[in-house]
Amino acid sequence: MNKIRSILKYIWWVINPFNGASFLDRRMPPGGKRRIKYDKEHTEKLYKEKVENYYKCTNKETADFWKGIDHRLFKKQEKHFLKLEKLKEKIEKDLEYEMWYYKNKPTDQELEKQSKKFFFKKPLISIIVPLYNTDVDFFRELLYSVHCQTYKNWELCLADGSEEKRSEIDEMVKKDSRIKYKFIGENKGISGNSNEAIKLATGKYIALLDHDDMLTVNALYEVVKCINKNNADFIYSDEDKFHFLDEEMFEPFFKPDYAPDTLRSNNYICHLCVIKKDLLDKVGYFNSKFDGAQDFDLILRSSEKAKKIIHIPKILYHWRVHSGSTSMNSEVKPYAIEAGKRAIQEELERLGKNGTVENGCYPGAYNVNYKYEDCFIPVLINSAENFDEENIKMLLSNTSYKSYKLIVFGNEKLKNLTDEKIELINTNDTNKARIFNHYILANKSKYVVVLSSNCKIHTNDWIEKMLGVIENDNVGVVGTRFFDKDGNTQNSGIMINEENGFRYINDGLKKSKDGYFSREKIVQNLSAVSFDLAMIDKEIYSKLGGFDEQFDKLFGLDFCMKVNKSKNLIIYNPNIEVYKNNETVSDEEISKFKDKWKDKLHDKYYNINFSTKNGNYEINWNG
C-alpha cells in the first residue's frame, strides 16, 4: 500500500504544474550534469542575443564598451562566488558588503524570469536625466544600466544643458527610439534642466536618475511589481555607493519605511525615487530656488500629497562617488545644505506647523525647533522600588520649564521631599501601569510624562524639547536617548522583532563612535521608545485604553504597539541627555508581550536587511 502511495505521489508531482517546480526543473533538476550543461548553453545563447541587441540600439563604440562591462561584471561576480565558497565556514561578520550583495542579487535565471513576467499593469516608466558636462564613460555606464533593465517598458528622457552639444552622447542614443534627447542650448540649472526632461516624458511614472549614477538591472521590474501589488504613487528603494564598476560597492543604505519626521531631519529617501506623473502634475515639478536640494524639496512636496508611499527594501540604485559629488562629502556643496534647510522650512509653512529649522549634527542633517503652547505637565515617578532622592532634587534644580509638577508615588521614604513642585502620593502598589492609569485618568492635563526615578537628566529644557515635538498631529509618544554612567549609549529607541520580541537600538554604542549613518543623532520616527522617560498625548492614551496592567516593566512597550496599530506616530528626540542604570526584564514578561503581539512583531522602521540578533543595524548575512 505504501509503495502504491509513493508511486501515485510521484506521478502527481510530475504532472501537477502547480507544485512549485517548473517544467524545466522537473525534467532536469538543478545541480545535475544535464542541467549544468543546459544552463551554460542557454546562458551563452541569451548573452549572444543580448550583445546583438547592443549593436542595434547604439553605436559600435558604446556597444563594445558595454561588452567590456559585461566581461568585467562577470569576472567580478565569479571572484566573489569563489570567495563565498571558501568562506562558508567563516563567521558571518567577516564577509564584505559587496559579497552580501552578490549573494543576494537576482541570479541570471531569476533575471530571465523577470523579463518574461506578465503584469496586469504595464506602465511606461519615464526615466528623467538632466545632463550637464556629463562624463562620457559615466554616461555609457548609466545607459548600460537602463538598457539592461528586465522590465522593458521604459523611456529615457535626457535634457542636456551643456555649453555645446555632445556628439558622443548624440551618437550613443540616436538608434534607440525609447531614448529622447534634447539639447537645451543653455544651462537652466539642475531644476530647469530636470523640468525640461520631464516635458519629454509620456510615461505614467517618473523615475529620477542622476547623470553619473546607475540602476540595478532589476530596478524597474521591482518598481512595477510594487505598482501592481500596492497601486503606489510614490516609491523609493535602498541604495549603495560605488566609484567604478571594477571596484567594490560600499556603504549600503538600508532605509526605514516612510517616516515623515525622519524625512524632516534628513533626506533619507534620496535614490531610487519613482513618482506618479499625476502626482507630480499636482504638486509641481522641480523648483530652482532649491537647487542643490531640489530632489529633497520635490520629495517633501510629493510625500505630503501621495496616497500610497511604498519603500522597496532592496538595493536598486548605485550612487557614484567622485570628487564633485555630495555622495563623497556633503560639504562639497554647502549651498545644498542651506537649500535643504529652506525646503523643510517651506514644508512647515505648507503644513501649518510653527517651527524653525537649524543645521543638525552633521552636514545634511537638520533639526526643527517647534513652537509650543505652555500647559501644565505632570511628571509621574514611581519610586516604590528604586527610589533615588538625589536624582529628584537634581531634576528640580535642572528643569527650566515652569508649569510642571513631579507626582511621586512611593512610601515612607518620601517624607523628606518637601517642595511646591512635588506632590507625594503614598502607595505600596509596585505595578507602574496600574498606578499611572489611576492618576492619568483622573487628571485633565493634555500631556503626561512618565519618568523612572533612577534617571539623571542633564538637559535643562527637556520638557520644552518633548513638548514642541508632541504637539504635532498624530504623535502619541515622544522618547529620547539614554546613556550609561560611562557615557556609552544604553538605547536610542527600541526595535520590534518576532524572534526576541524587542531589542534596544544601539545598545553599547561607545560614546566615541557614530552609529549607522549617525541615525542615533537625529529626530526620527520609531516603532517604540523607552518609557524610562517619555511624554504621552493624553487624548491618544485615552482612546487606546491606557496602559495594559498585566505588564510590569513592558507596559510602555505595549503602549507603543497600540500607538503603532492606531496609525499614530512615535518620535525619538535625541536632544535630551539622560543617564540611567540598566534594568532587566523577566523572560516571562517578554513571552507575555510576544504572545499578545505575535502577529504585529514587524518593525517598519528597522530594515529587513538588518539582523535581529541585536539592534545595532548589522547586516543580516543570512538574508
Check whether 333 has a pLDDT greater than 80: no
Residue range 599-608: average pLDDT?
Answer: 94
Q: Where in the chain are all domains bearing CATH 3.90.550.10?
A: 110-116+123-367, 377-596
Query: What's the rounded Cα separation, in Å, for the pair 536 and 554?
Result: 15
Check whether 467 has a pLDDT greater than 80: yes
Residues paired with residue 312 on neighbouring β-strands, in sequence order: 237
The dihedral sign for the CA sequence 11, 12, 13, 15 = positive
The answer to whether the pTM exceeds 0.75 is yes
Check whether 94 has a pLDDT greater than 50: no
Query: What's the rounded Cα separation, in Å, for the pair 237 and 220?
Result: 11
Quote the pLDDT of residue 90. 46
| Least trusted range by pLDDT, from 37-46, 179-188, 565-574 | 37-46
Cβ contact 544:566 at 8 Å: yes
| Least trusted range by pLDDT, from 61-65, 233-237, 358-362 | 61-65
pLDDT bin (cut points 50, 70, 90) of residue 444 is confident
Cβ burial 512-538 (10 Å sphere, 16+ → b, else e)? eeebbbebbbbbbbbbbbbbbbbbbbb
Quote the pLDDT of residue 89. 45
pLDDT bin (cut points 50, 70, 90) of residue 96 is confident
Domain 377-596: homologous superfamily in CATH: Spore Coat Polysaccharide Biosynthesis Protein SpsA; Chain A (3.90.550.10)
pLDDT bin (cut points 50, 70, 90) of residue 124 is very high
C-alpha cell of 172?
A: 550613443
Quote the pLDDT of residue 47. 67
Respond yes or no on whether the N-terminal peptide bond of residue 272 is cis (omega within 30° of 0): yes
Question: 444 vs 24, which has greater pLDDT?
Answer: 444
Q: Express each pLDDT in 131-148 by its tens digit.
A: 999 888 899 889 989 998
Angle between helices 97-104 and 60-86 (to 10 degrees): 100
Q: Express each pLDDT in 583-603 by its tens digit.
A: 888 899 999 999 999 989 999
Looking up cell 528643569 gives 399
Looking up cell 499578545 gives 596
Quote the pLDDT of residue 54. 75
Question: 144 vs 536, which has greater pLDDT?
Answer: 536
**Domain range 110-116+123-367, its CATH number among 3.40.50.150, 3.40.50.2000, 3.90.550.10, 3.30.1660.40:** 3.90.550.10
Angle between helices 108-116 and 33-57 (to 10 degrees): 60
Quote the pLDDT of residue 16. 55
DSSP per-residue letters across 293-321: SHHHHHHHHHHHH-S-EEEEEEEEEEEE-
Check whether 489 has a pLDDT greater than 70: yes
Check whether 83 has a pLDDT greater than 60: no
Question: In Å, how far are 233, 469, 478 from 575, measured between CA atoms?
Answer: 34, 11, 12
Question: 509 vs 413, which has greater pLDDT?
Answer: 509
Residue range 335-360: average pLDDT?
Answer: 94
Looking up cell 548553453 gives 41
Query: What's the rounded Cα separation, in Å, for the pair 365 and 574?
Result: 13
Output the average pLDDT for the chain. Answer: 86
Cβ contact 615:530 at 8 Å: no
Check whether 93 has a pLDDT greater than 80: no
Query: What's the rounded Cα separation, in Å, for the pair 375 and 538?
Result: 13
Looking up cell 524639496 gives 297
Query: What's the rounded Cα separation, in Å, for the pair 351 and 472?
Result: 10
